[in-house]
Amino acid sequence: MATATKTFRNYIGGEWVDAAGGETFESHGPATGELIGTFPKSGPEDVDRAVEAAKAAFEEWRLVPAPKRGEIFYRFGQLLIDQKEDVAQLMTREMGKVIAEARGDVQEAVDISFYMAGEGRRLFGHTTPSELPDKFNMSVRMPIGVVGAITPWNFPIAIPSWKLVPALVCGNTAVFKPATDTPLLGERFVELLDEAGLPKGVVNIVHGGGGAVGDRLVRHPDVPVITLTGSRETGVAVLRAAADNLKHVHLELGGKNPIIVLDDADLDLAVDGIVWSAFGTSGQRCTAASRVIAQAGVYDELQSRLVAAAERLRLGPGWEDGVDVGPVINRAALDKIHSYTGVGRDEGAQLLTGGEIASGDGLGDGFFYRPTVFAEVEPDMRIAQEEIFGPTTALIRVVDLDEAIRVANGVRFGLSSSIFTRDVNKAFRAMRDLVAGITYVNAGTIGAEVHLPFGGTKETGNGHREAGQAALDVFTEWKSIYVDYSGKLQRAQIDTEGVNEP
C-alpha cells in the first residue's frame, strides 16, 4: 500500500482507478487532525462501472465451488492476523479507538472470516421425504448477485467483514462503499482481500458520500441486495429508494440499550459492565449502554460508584499508553453529543459528571468529550429515548423488576439489553421479557460473538441478522428441488383415484 503518497483510488474490476469526475476528499484523524489520505470523491458513473464489473465477475464466481471460495477467507483471516497490529494502529489514527479496542475490531474480522470460511463447506440446505413414491426433495441456497455494502465508521474493519465475507462465501459479488470518515481502513480491507486471492471484480470499492455513491448503489437495478449499517433515518431512506426494484434490504440501525441493575446485583461487576458499555469506543456503538435502570435499593450506591469510575477514565489519543477513552469521530458528532447535555439539563435531569467538550492536557485539536452521567432521569425524557451515540448514559430509578422491564422496553429500539442480578428466576424472566435482539446476564450490553446472530427488534432494523448462520439468509435465495424418478407423471395434492398408486 503506497501510504507515502497519501493518495488513494477506487478499486474496480481489479484495477485502482480515479473517480471519473476527478474530485477528491480528505480523511483526517479525529485525535489530532492529521491528514490520513486523499480519496476519490466518486459519483454515479463510478458506481455504474463498479456494478458492471461485479455483475460480470458474478457469472464465474458463483460457479466456483463453495469450499474453494471459503479457502480464500481462511487466507484472508490469516493475513489479518499477520497485519493485526499495523491495521489496529491505523485504526487508532483514522477512527480514534484506543489501541486495545482497535485490535479487538480486527479480531472480530478474523473470527468472522474463519467462521464463514467454514460455511463454504456447509451452506446447509434441507432434505425431506416426499409425499409421493420414487421422488426426492431438497432445498439449497443459491447466490443472488451483486451486493451493495454500505458500512459505518465505528467498526471500520469488523462491520465490512460481517457483510462482505458471508456475501462472497455464498457466491455473490460486491460493491463496497465505506464511510467517508474511515476510507483508508476500507481500502486496506480490500487490499487484503485481493492479496488473499479474490478474483478481480468480485469485490469493488467506491469511495464517496451517501448522496452520490450510496444513493446510486441503492437504486441501481443490477444490485439486488443492499446491506447497510447506519442511522434509523438513513435506513428508512434506503428502504424507500430500494422499493421500486423490490431489493433485498438488510438494515442494522440504532439502539438505546438498557442495563438493569437489581438490588441483589454484584455492584463492582455492574459498574465495570456499565463503564465498558457506556464509554467504550467513546459511546459510539449501536450497542452502547445509554440507559442504566437501577432498582431503588441500590440506586444511590450505584450512582456514587459509577461517577467515581467515570471520573477515573483518561482521555487521549488511542495509541498512547493508559488511555481509556479516545476522541469521537468528528466535529458534527462532538456538537451533537454536547447538544444532548443541554437537552438533559433543560429536561430537569441532574448532571453528575462530564457534560463538556474536553481540551487541554495534551488533547490538542481533537474531538474529545468527557464521559457523562445523568441522574434522576425520567423514562420519557429525550436523553432516555433518543440515540446520542456518545459517552453519555442516563440513570433511571425503578421500584422492581417489572417496572425495570417496562422501562427497558419503552423505547423505539430493541438491539441489546443487560441485567445484573444473582437471582436466576429474575434473570430468566428478563431473558424472556426484554424485547431486544441480544440480552446479557451479568455482563454489559457489548461483546457479541460471531457465531450467534447479531441484530435487533423494533426500529433497530428490519428483521434480518448479521453473523452466525442467520447471516446466510441475507445473502442467499432458497431453491426447492424435486426429483421424480418414478418414470410417470405424479401430481402432488391431487386426489384422483389411482393416480398416485405405485
Q: Which three cell numbers stand for residue 159?
A: 462491520
What local confidence, expressed as pLDDT, does residue 496 receive?
Answer: 60
Residue 363 dihedral angles phi and psi, to the nearest 5°: -85, -15
User: What is the per-residue pLDDT across 210-241, written as a single tens digit (0 to 9) for each?
Assistant: 999 999 999 999 999 999 999 999 999 999 99
Q: Which residue in the list 252, 387, 459, 466 is annotated as catalytic?
A: 252
What local confidence, expressed as pLDDT, does residue 502 receive?
Answer: 45
Where in the chain are the domains? 34-253+461-480, 257-441
pTM greater than 0.85: yes
* Mean pLDDT over each residue of the chain, to the nearest integer: 96
- The DSSP element (H or E) to which 196 belongs, if any, is helix 183-196
Q: What is the mean pLDDT of residues 266-291?
A: 98
Q: What is the mean pLDDT of residues 183-208?
A: 98
* pLDDT cut 90: percent of the chain above it: 95
- The DSSP element (H or E) to which 61 belongs, if any, is helix 44-61
As beta bridge partners, residue 476 has 143
What local confidence, expressed as pLDDT, does residue 365 receive?
Answer: 85
What local confidence, expressed as pLDDT, does residue 497 receive?
Answer: 58
Q: Is 286 a catalytic residue?
A: yes
- Domain spanning 257-441: CATH 2.40.40.20: no
What local confidence, expressed as pLDDT, does residue 253 receive?
Answer: 97
Q: Which three cell numbers stand for residue 110?
A: 478474523
Of the candidates 160, 229, 165, the residue with the CA atom closest to the CA atom of residue 198: 165
What local confidence, expressed as pLDDT, does residue 3 receive?
Answer: 45
What local confidence, expressed as pLDDT, does residue 360 receive?
Answer: 80
Of the candidates 396, 293, 277, 283, the residue with the CA atom closest to the CA atom of residue 336: 283
User: What is the per-residue pLDDT across 328-381, written as a single tens digit (0 to 9) for each?
Assistant: 999 999 999 999 999 999 999 999 999 999 988 778 889 999 999 999 999 999
User: What is the per-residue pLDDT across 415-437, written as a single tens digit (0 to 9) for each?
Assistant: 999 999 999 999 999 999 999 99
CATH superfamily of 34-253+461-480: Aldehyde Dehydrogenase; Chain A, domain 1 (3.40.605.10)
Asked whether residue 94 carries a pLDDT value surpassing 70, the answer given is: yes
Amino acid at 390: G
Asked whether residue 100 carries a pLDDT value surpassing 60, the answer given is: yes
Q: Is 252 a catalytic residue?
A: yes
Q: What is the mean pLDDT of residues 270-298?
A: 98
Q: Which residue in the list 94, 101, 170, 286 is annotated as catalytic?
A: 286
CB atoms within 10 A of CB 389: 24
